Structure 1
Amino acid sequence: MASTSVSRVVPASPERVWQLIGGFDALPDWLPFIPESTPLEGGRVRRLRNPEGDTIVERLVAFSEAERHYAYAILESPFPVTGYVSDLRVHSVPGKPEEAEVVWSGRFVPDGVGEADAVELFTGIYRDGLDALHRTLAA
């Protein structure tokens, strides 16, 4: 099983960050490469569409409002992996109440590609996503 993790300090309180990203169906609010999200099964599943028209279906597997995190599994996607589970977390930055650290991590089994290629793919997705979040919060 392969894994990757990216973290980024963003210019907003943990509460404000979580308010923006903590909803399982909120990706279009901050992630430009996911312009469409449709909640299914009472909000426990989301069907995402990227600008190219690809569909990604994900299931919420853990959620904690108090700890400001959720985890999800990919059920269907164009990605060359199986067994994908990801975690999105918001942490306080000690001594800096108007900043938060966001950590996006995932683990998966490469399928049809090498481990380094799969890790590079998701590292890039997480990095680009957290960069977009930073730009949204800094605006």
Structure 2
Amino acid sequence: MASTTASLAVPASPDRTWQLIGGFDSLPDWLPYIPTSTLGEGGRVRTLVNEDGGVIVERLESFDNDARSYSYSILRAPFPVTGYRSTLTVHAVPGEDTARVEWSGRFTPDGIGDDEAVDLFHGIYRDGLAALHRTLAGETARPS
């Protein structure tokens, strides 16, 4: 089993950051390469469509609003891994009204090496967090 974690400080409070990303159906609100998300099974399964038309189906495995964290698994996707489970968490930055977002995942490479699988998901997490940062920075830059 392989794993990777990416984290990034973002220019918003933990509560505002969680408000944006904490909904299991909220990826299109901050992740440009996922323009479509549809919930099923009472909100426990999301079907994502990426900008190339690829479909990814994920199941919400755990949700903790107080800890600002949720975990999900992939049911179907065009990724060369099995047993994928990921967690997205918003952490407070002590002494500041900003947040640090951590996105981590564990998975078993299927047909590729551990390093290649880690590079794939680390890139997805890193690029996703950069998109989140741009979204939140755009919000804070707007005049009241």
What TM-score comes out, normalization by structure 2 length? 0.95
| Equivalent in the alignment of 1:10 | 10
- How far has the Cα of 1:49 moved from its partner? 0.3
3-state SS in 1 of match to 2:117: helix
Q: Which residue of 1 aligns with 2:141?
A: none
The residue identity in structure 1 corresponding to 2:114 is E
Q: Distance in 1 between matches of 2:116 and 2:85?
A: 17
SS of the residue corresponding to residue 126 of structure 1 reads helix
Mind listing any 5+ residue stretches in structure 1 that lack a counterpart?
A: none
> Using the alignment, how far apart are the partners of 1:81 and 1:89 within structure 2?
22
For residue 107 of structure 1, what is the aligned residue in structure 2?
Answer: 106
Q: Distance in 2 between matches of 1:63 and 1:13?
A: 20
Partner of 2:137: 138
What RMSD over aligned residues (CA atoms) do the two structures have, in Å?
Answer: 0.3
State the one-letter code of the partner of 1:3: S
1:122 to partner: Cα distance: 0.2
Percentage of matched positions with identical amino acids: 67
Q: Distance in 2 between matches of 1:114 and 1:47?
A: 27
TM-score by length of 1: 0.99
| Letter of the 2:118 counterpart | V
Shift of 1:68: 0.2
SS at match of 2:112: coil
Q: Distance in 1 between matches of 2:62 and 2:42?
A: 15
* Offset of residue 26 of structure 1: 0.2
Residue in structure 2 matched with residue 38 of structure 1 by the alignment = 38
Unaligned residue ranges in structure 2 (runs of 5+): 139-144
In the other structure, the counterpart of 2:59 is 59
The residue identity in structure 1 corresponding to 2:23 is G
Letter in 2 for 1:18: W
- Higher strand proportion, which one? 1
CA distance in 2, matches of 1:119, 1:33: 20
Match of 1:136, as an amino acid? T
Distance apart, 1:54 and its partner CA: 0.6
SS in 2 for 1:46: strand
